[in-house]
């Protein structure tokens, strides 16, 4: 049975729940719920195991805070013996308009501390990821406040639909692979 490590990026703590920076956690939660998984506290992350169409999905939300996400991913990859091509990282992206979803097989960290940590720990930029657009509608010098801020009420409505699409993308990645998933979803 093929194994996959699905990683939702975010920060632990009530003050960070459902913020733009935690969209990875929100997609991971939705995936876990749909597949009837349950998160339990594990080493460096909360962890859930689920299956989908003959695939084993190991879903984590690092408890290391965003800046050390790579440590949790490296630990779980090693622990579960999952190759880098079978990890899938879900991350917020300022460069994409709100709600746009983009699947990539590699890329730079683009200044994102979570991706920077992953790159340092895995010693590669080549790992599959789902970039979830959060937009960049903030005044100069207010990026941190924006990223750690809550969604605006207009976005909340569309957000749930986009999270559902995010879950579909994760499932497609596990069943059909990176290239097919990119073809299916990147042009929508």
Which positions are catalytic?
21
Indicate the SS3 state at residue 176: helix
Residues 6+ apart with CB under 8 A from 101: 130, 131, 132, 133, 162, 165, 166, 169, 185, 188
Q: Give me the phi and psi of 51, to 5 degrees please.
A: -130, 150
CB contact at 8 A, 96 and 138: no
CB-side exposure of 29: number of CA atoms within 13 Å? 11
């Amino acid at each position: 049975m093929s194994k996959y490590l699905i990683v939702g990026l975010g920060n632990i703590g009530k003050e960070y729940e459902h913020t733009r920076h935690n969209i990875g956690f929100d997609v991971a939660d939705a995936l876990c719920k749909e597949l009837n998984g349950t998160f339990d506290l594990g080493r460096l992350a909360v962890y859930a195991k689920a299956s989908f169409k003959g695939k084993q999905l190991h879903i984590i939300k690092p408890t290391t805070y965003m800046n050390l996400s790579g440590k949790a991913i490296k630990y779980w990859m090693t622990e579960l013996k999952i190759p880098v091509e079978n990890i899938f990282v879900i991350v917020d992206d300022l460069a994409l308009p709100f709600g746009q979803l983009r699947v990539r097989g590699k890329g730079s960290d683009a200044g994102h501390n979570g991706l920077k940590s992953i790159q340092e720990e895995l010693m590669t930029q080549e790992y599959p990821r789902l970039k979830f657009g959060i937009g960049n509608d903030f005044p100069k010098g207010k990026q941190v406040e924006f990223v750690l801020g809550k969604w605006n009420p207009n976005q909340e409505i569309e957000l749930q639909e986009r999270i559902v699409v995010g879950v579909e993308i994760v499932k497609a990645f596990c069943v059909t692979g990176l290239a097919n998933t990119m073809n299916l979803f990147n042009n929508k």
